[in-house]
Amino acid sequence: MGVPDQLADKMSMAEQHEYLRSKFSRRTMVRGGAVTLGAVVGGAFVPGAAQAATQTSSSKTSSPSSSAAVDGSLVAPFGRHLAYGNDASTEMTVSWQVPVAVKKPFIRIGASPLDLSRKIDAELTSLYTPAGVGASADYTQYYLHAKLSNLRPGKTYYYGVGHEGFDPADHHLLGTLGTFTTAPGKSEAFTFTAFGDQGVSYHGLANDALILGQNPAFHLHAGDIAYGDPSGAGVTSDTGYDARTWDQFLYQTESVAKQVPWMVSYGNHDMEAWYSPNGYGGEEARWLLPDNGPDRKNLPGVYSFVYGNTAVISLDANDISFEIPANLGISGGTQTKWLEAQLKKFRASKNVDFVVVFFHHCAYCTSTTHSSEGGVRNEWVPLFEKYTVDLVINGHNHVYERTDVIKKNAVSKELPIGGTAYPETDGVVYVTAGAAGRSLYGFSADQSYEGHEKDNNEVAAFVCLADGAKQNETVAWSRVRYLNYSFLRVDVTPASKGRQATLKVRGIAETGAQVDHFIVSRKAK
Nearest C-alpha neighbor of 94 from the set 108, 83, 86, 79: 83
171 & 195 share domain: no
54 and 19 in a single domain? The answer is yes
| Residue 372 and residue 491 in one domain | yes
How confident is the model at residue 475, as a pLDDT? Answer: 96
Cα separation, 398 vs 296, whole angstroms? 29
pLDDT tens string, the chain, 525 residues long: the values are 444 444 455 678 887 787 777 776 543 443 333 333 332 222 222 233 333 333 323 322 223 444 456 899 999 999 999 999 999 999 999 999 999 999 999 999 999 998 998 999 999 999 999 988 888 788 999 999 999 999 999 999 999 999 999 999 998 887 889 999 999 999 999 999 999 999 999 999 999 999 999 999 999 999 999 999 988 765 555 678 899 999 999 999 999 999 999 999 999 999 998 899 999 999 999 999 999 999 999 999 999 999 999 999 999 999 999 999 999 999 999 999 999 999 999 999 999 999 999 999 999 999 999 999 999 999 999 999 999 999 999 999 999 999 999 999 999 999 999 999 999 999 999 999 999 999 999 999 999 999 999 987 899 999 999 988 999 999 999 999 999 999 999 999 999 999 999 999 999 999 999 999 999 999 999
Give the whole-angstrom CA distance, residue 392 versus residue 403.
10
**Closest among 505, 332, 492, 491 to 433, alpha carbons compared:** 505
* Position 244 in a domain: no
For residues 88 and 203, membership in a common domain is answered with no
Residue 444 belongs to what domain range?
Answer: 184-223+302-523
Of 151, 178, 205, the one marking the end of a domain is 178
Q: Does a structural domain hold residue 269?
A: no
Of 178, 199, 232, the residue at which a domain comes to its end is 178
Count: domains in the chain: 2
pLDDT of residue 233: 67
pLDDT at 46: 27
Both 93 and 195 in a single domain? no
What pLDDT score does 237 carry?
56
CATH code of residue 126: 2.60.40.380
Sequential DSSP letters for 421-446: E-TTTS-B-EEEE--SSSPP--BSS-
Supply the DSSP symbol for 382. H
- Could you tell me if 371 and 518 lie in one domain? yes
**Residue 169 counted as domain residue:** yes
Contact in structure between 16 and 4 (CB atoms under 8 Å): no
Is 267 inside a domain boundary? no
Statement to judge: residues 145 and 196 lie in one domain: no
Backbone angles phi and psi of 317, in degrees to 5: -75, -10
Domain membership of residue 285 (yes or no) is no
pLDDT confidence of residue 8: 53
Q: What is the CATH number of the domain that holds 440?
A: 3.60.21.10
Distance CA(172)–CA(48), nearest Å, equals 32
Same domain, yes or no, for 115 and 202?
no
- Residue 488 belongs to some domain of the structure: yes
Give yes or no: residues 203 and 169 share one domain: no
Cα within 13 Å of Cα(323), Cβ side: 26
Q: Does 219 lie in the same domain as 82?
A: no
For residues 232 and 324, is the Cβ–Cβ distance under 8 A? Answer: yes
In this structure, the answer to whether residues 217 and 87 fall within a common structural domain is: no
Whole-angstrom distance, CA of residue 232 vs CA of residue 238: 9
Distance CA 27, CA 1 (A): 19
354 in any annotated domain: yes
Given this model, what pLDDT does residue 7 score? Answer: 46
Domain assignment present for 307: yes
What whole-number distance in Å separates Cα of residue 233 and Cα of residue 279? 11
Looking at residue 117, its pLDDT comes to 87
Specify the length of the chain in residues: 525
Shared domain for 363 and 322, answered yes or no, is yes
Pairing assessment for the beta strands 156-162 and 106-110 based on DSSP bridges: antiparallel
pLDDT at position 63 is: 36
Q: Find out whether 372 and 360 touch, Cβ atoms under 8 Å.
A: no
Q: Which amino acid is at 167?
A: D
**Among candidate residues 150, 178, 206, the one where a domain is terminated:** 178
